[in-house]
Chain A
Amino acid sequence: MLKKYKPFLRAGAMDTMAYRFNILVWAVITVCQVACLVFLWLAVYRSSEGGIDAVIHGFTYREMISYVVLTTVFGFVTFNNDTLWNINTDIKKGTIGNYLIKPISYRGKFAATSLGSLLMMTLMFGVPLYTAALAVLGSLGFLPDLTFPAFFAHLALFLLSGLCASLLNDTIAYIFGVLCFYTSSGWGLNSLKETLVAFLSGTLLPLAFFPAGLREAVSIMPFAGMSQNPILILMMKYDLAESLRAVALTAAWIVALELFAKLLFSHAIRKVTVQGG
């Protein structure tokens, strides 16, 4: 049943291998961005009433810097699918027709490709980058002391929540991709999706900084599971019960949004206008 998706899994992994140069450029850009954020947060804590060692919304400056570094690595390893762009290209070039007549699900193809990409990214970059980040941050005393059995439980839950985050990200990218059927072009939708996710997932700023009403609203939305929750699980800011609850919420959202995506696709496919390149 699942065997026919294996070529796509492999293609996702191979594509990722082929773009090592882009990844180097990404690294330079990212280091500059992270540095900017670190300077900003240091200035924020230095300017706070309690001075540099203040705790702001439950974060010390050490935890905040760890949070910034880890969400960046997490985003790089986890969010690397081209689902939206590929759907957009399929619409523009008319290749969508090829998939509609093949005996595989259009949705399944993308899920498999991004899963393949996730596996390759995790092995090639995730393992060394997380290890390096945790080692450096840990030795600087930026992370809590790792008490070992507990840390492994958190690590396992972190990997699980990372998988959920990647799947959820792919689902959302797919939904926005299907919306391209209606707008005929993906630029606007892509930037809307990126902004929405960056803000509501806590990548830009931990949700603890949001005003109470907004924070509670966002905490039941799917987005926190895509960035903030996995990182707080890894940093052991969530205890095991909270961690499990966060993963369960994300899993429930994946199911709900997949159902929505199915409905949306069956409506959108009737709208399809092939532009023929």
Chain B
Amino acid sequence: MRYVHLYFTCIKRSMISRLEYKKDTIVALFSFFFSNLCSLAAIYFILQSIPALAGYSLAEVGFFYGFSMLPISLDHLFSDEFWLVAYRRVQNGDMDMHFLRPVPVMFQVFAETFQPEGFGEMILGVALIIVCASNLTVTVSFGSIAVLTVGAVFGAVIITSFKVALSALAFIFKRSGPLLQIIYNFSNYAKYPLAIYPAVIRMLLIFVLPFGLFISLPVDTLLHGTHDPWLLCLAIILCAAVFFALAVRIWTFCERRYESTGS
């Protein structure tokens, strides 16, 4: 309970400091929508010239793109500060203050920022899903709704786990941002159906960097009933539990080896 109160206090403070650059936030929001619009336009122009992409219609491909934005935006809302830890904050000695406070360091990092931009992403994703779904004839079942919800929520947990584990490496190596960036960018692969990739990449995206497991497979299950929704739910939740437990272990391990850069 104390932590809930503490979290909201910290978040309020971070929002106030953000208001300093109001104009820039507006430009950033606009450019975010514009950039997604451009990517979608590119996909639209490509699909105009072919009947379907590996058997998926335009609306189906759009559905994948829209759904991929949900777990990504959920993660974006809560854990943006980990990018700074990985890229700069250990290196420039900015983390020291967190080690002097009687609250777990990981909690403090989560409480450092709340990114309202994530809502923009989420709204756009939902809008795209609605537009695409209205052009599709899908039989919506309880199971497929469940698997999409689980995919979005626990998918976000998996993405956050990657961020926690890889940014923790900065405690030892001072800077781990580039590595995090490399892994994170694989989420772009899950914006398209897995069917367009060769088998090796498909396996990689399901078993190693499981962006395909919680984005592509749930959508496939909704559109074509390729998997048992409940089994898939179970797999995603298990995977999220394993990744999160591992991430916490790695974080505590690295935290104990933290040495201030003293700068």
Contact = CB atoms under 8 A, between A and B. Distances in A.
B23 A184 contact: yes
B27 A189 contact: yes
Interface string A133-162: 000000000000000000000000000000
Interface of B: 21, 23-32, 34-35, 38-39, 41-42, 45-46, 48-55, 178-179, 181-182, 185-186, 188-189, 192, 195-198, 201
A48 B50 CA distance: 5
A191 B178 CA distance: 19
A99 interface: no
A204 B42 contact: yes
Interface stretch (A2-10, A35-43, A234-242): A35-43
Given A39-B196, A39-B198, A204 B35 contact: no
A210 B34 CA distance: 17
Interface string A23-50: 0010011001101100110111011110
Given A36-B188, A44-B46, A195 B34 contact: yes
Contact of A195 (B26, B31, B49): B31
A61 to B, nearest CB: 12
B178 A205 contact: no
Contacts of B192: 40, 43
Contacts of A28: 182
A192 interface: yes
Ranked 4 nearest A-B pairs via Cβ: A188-B27, A188-B28, A43-B196, A192-B31
Contacts of B51: 47-49
Given A25-B178, A39-B196, A32 B185 contact: yes
Given A33-B185, A33-B188, A192-B34, 8 more contacts: A28-B182, A29-B182, A32-B182, A183-B21, A195-B34, A198-B38, A199-B42, A205-B46
A57 B49 contact: yes
Contacts of B31: 188-189, 191-192, 195
Interface residues of A, number: 39
A182 B27 CA distance: 11
A39 B191 CA distance: 13
Contact of A211 (B45, B189, B196): B45
A28 B52 CA distance: 31
A187 interface: yes
B11 to A, nearest CB: 20
A196 B34 CA distance: 8
A266 interface: no
B54 to A, nearest CB: 5
Contact of B189 (A36, A42, A182, A184): A36
B21 A185 contact: yes
A32 B34 CA distance: 24
Interface in A169-213: 182-189, 191-192, 194-196, 198-199, 204-205, 209-211
A249 interface: no
Contacts of B23: 182-185
B220 to A, nearest CB: 15
A214 B75 CA distance: 36
B42 A183 contact: no
Contact of B24 (A36, A46, A56, A184): A184
8 contacts: A25-B179, A32-B186, A42-B196, A43-B53, A182-B23, A188-B28, A191-B31, A205-B42
A228 to B, nearest CB: 13
Nearest to B21: A185
A183 B27 contact: yes
